[in-house]
């Protein structure tokens, strides 16, 4: 399902993403999973816009900068995004593994692809169903690049109950 954000929604989401990047700079956060440090601004902005797209589809209020460790949308929805349809959903190890915050195995993750206010809601999956050995990989071949990369065809439709 394609969601087109309005210019106002794009502006609000862009400000949210910029605020998140400034916070990340202050806290010394680094790019991970093979992402280039030069794309951190865009990643935060596009992530915030993808969350707005899911919020718009579900008719939920998008609460701005959000809470670190809290859900991205509503009471329990996590959103991950990528710019292109051929890319895969990235999930992290469960909490407590390798000292990281991790992805809660019971959380539902929506995968969104797109850029610049036009997004495709690709599907969703419960994290534990994607945190499987066969999806563990390092496509960027970097020291910090390992994660679960879940193929899009294995995601549930966005309107399915899971």
Task: List pLDDT tens digits, range 52-97.
Answer: 999 999 999 877 666 767 788 988 899 999 999 999 999 998 887 5
Give the best-scoring range by mean pLDDT among 23-32, 34-43, 116-125, 134-143.
Answer: 116-125
Contact yes or no for 127/107 (Cβ under 8 A): yes
Which residue is listed with tokens 């809470």? 67
pLDDT confidence tier of residue 44, bands split at 50, 70 and 90: very high
The answer on pLDDT for 51 being more than 60 is: yes
The answer on pLDDT for 141 being more than 60 is: yes
Structure confidence at residue 58 (pLDDT): 95
Residue 15 covered by a domain: yes
* Mean per-residue pLDDT of the chain: 90
Closest CA to 92 of 53, 162, 150: 150
Query: Which has the higher per-residue pLDDT, 140 or 128?
Result: 128
Residue 106 covered by a domain: yes
Residue 160 covered by a domain: no
Tally of domains in the chain:
1
Structure confidence at residue 161 (pLDDT): 94
**Tens digit of each residue's pLDDT (9 = 90 or more) over 7-36:** 999 999 999 999 999 998 998 887 776 677
Residue 122 covered by a domain: yes
Residue 162 covered by a domain: no
For CA atoms 147, 54, 68, 116, give the dihedral sign.
Answer: positive
- Residues 51 and 2: their CA atoms lie apart, in Å, by 13
Structure confidence at residue 98 (pLDDT): 58
Question: CA neighbours within 13 Å on the CB side: how many for 96?
Answer: 2
Residue 102 covered by a domain: yes
141: tokens are 């071949």
- The range of the structural domain enclosing residue 33 comes to 2-154
Residue 77 covered by a domain: yes
Residue 101 covered by a domain: yes
């Amino acid at each position: 399902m394609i969601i087109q954000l309005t210019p106002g929604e794009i502006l609000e989401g862009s400000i949210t993403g910029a605020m998140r990047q400034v916070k990340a700079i202050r806290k010394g956060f680094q790019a991970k999973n093979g992402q280039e440090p030069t794309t951190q601004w865009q990643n935060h902005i596009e992530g915030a816009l993808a969350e707005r797209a899911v919020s718009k589809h579900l008719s939920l209020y998008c609460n701005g900068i959000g809470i670190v460790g809290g859900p991205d949308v509503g009471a329990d929805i996590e959103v991950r995004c990528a710019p292109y349809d051929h890319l895969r959903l990235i999930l992290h190890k469960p909490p407590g593994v390798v000292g990281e915050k991790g992805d809660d195995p019971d959380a539902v993750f929506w995968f969104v692809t797109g850029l610049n206010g036009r997004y495709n809601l690709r599907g969703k999956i419960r994290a534990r169903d994607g945190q499987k050995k066969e999806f563990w990989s390092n496509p960027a071949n970097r020291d910090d690049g390992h994660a679960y990369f879940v193929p899009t065809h294995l995601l549930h439709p966005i309107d399915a109950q899971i």
